[in-house]
């Protein structure tokens, strides 16, 4: 009976540690995702008029938050933003047409 109790206690403890670790990973990925979104918004707010490409790193407090690449395409733009948090990295790629950029206020006619 004592062995069964120890066996169940051991696996309960391992299961709780696994759930806690998974929650921590989810939280870290969510923060990296938020940093990648900040990079997307930064790129859309800073679309160059004459250049075909734009690359920038978003850095604050000696930490790299996002690497941003913007490429002008025919009739639109492509934005690729990689957000970082601890050892996690999340990449978002979006494509926006010139029409939607004008409608959303990022470009002027």
> What is the C-alpha to C-alpha distance for residues 22 and 93, in angstroms, rounded to an integer?
26
Is the pLDDT score of 17 beyond 60?
no
Query: Percentage of the chain surpassing pLDDT 70?
Result: 79
pLDDT band at 106 (very low <50, low <70, confident <90, very high): confident
Beta pairing partners, 91? 82
Distances (CA, A) of 8 to 1, 2, 17, 19: 11, 10, 14, 17
Question: Tens digit of pLDDT for each residue in 70-96?
Answer: 999 999 999 999 999 998 999 999 999
Q: What is the pTM of this model?
A: 0.77
Strand, coil or helix: 51: coil
pLDDT given at position 80: 97
Helix, strand or coil, per DSSP, at residue 26: helix
């Amino acid at each position: 009976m004592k062995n069964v109790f120890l066996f169940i206690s051991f696996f309960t403890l391992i299961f709780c540690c696994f759930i806690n670790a998974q929650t921590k990973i989810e939280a870290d990925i969510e923060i990296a995702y938020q940093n990648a979104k900040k990079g997307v918004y930064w790129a859309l707010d800073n679309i160059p008029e004459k250049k075909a490409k734009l690359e920038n790193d978003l850095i604050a407090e000696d930490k790299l938050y996002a690497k941003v690449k913007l490429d002008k395409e025919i009739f639109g733009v492509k934005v690729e933003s990689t957000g970082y948090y601890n050892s996690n990295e999340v990449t978002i790629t979006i494509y926006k047409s010139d029409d939607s950029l004008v409608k959303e206020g990022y470009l002027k006619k």
